[in-house]
Amino acid sequence: MDSQETLEIEYRLKRKEYEEKEEDLYRQRDKAISVIEEVQERSHYYLNKTSQDNEIHKQGFKQTEHLKDDIFDLTSENLQELSREIEDLEEEYYHNLRKLNRK
């Protein structure tokens, strides 16, 4: 196996790792949102049975909506960081490829 093949294999492996991290971020986000929505549904159900105070319902709903927003924001930040890492990986790969081709 020559240097170019080795470089390409390493690049593809790292790229695959980043893609798996991205999928994992989406999976974690979706699971967290699902849990929050389940809490919203259960809270709504039980609070309707036990409480007549709609303000409590509104406060709880607002808080869980803020949690969902925070999760989306954090996921977005993590995805942007991952995107920068992929760009750096590609830049390094093409830089090393050019170096090999000059030899």
Q: What is the dihedral of CA 8, 13, 15, 18, to 10 degrees?
A: -170
Containing H/E element for 62? helix 54-102
Q: Is residue 25 within 8 Å of residue 75, measured between CB atoms?
A: yes
Range of the domain at 51: 3-102
Residue-wise pLDDT tens digits, 76-92: 999 999 999 999 999 99
- Number of compact structural domains in the chain: 1
Residue-wise pLDDT tens digits, 8-50: 999 999 999 999 999 999 999 999 999 999 999 988 887 777 7
Residue-wise pLDDT tens digits, 41-69: 988 887 777 767 778 778 888 999 999 99
pLDDT of residue 35: 97
88-to-22, 29, 44, 59, 83 alpha-carbon distances in Å: 16, 25, 46, 43, 9
Q: Is residue 43 within 8 Å of residue 60, measured between CB atoms?
A: yes
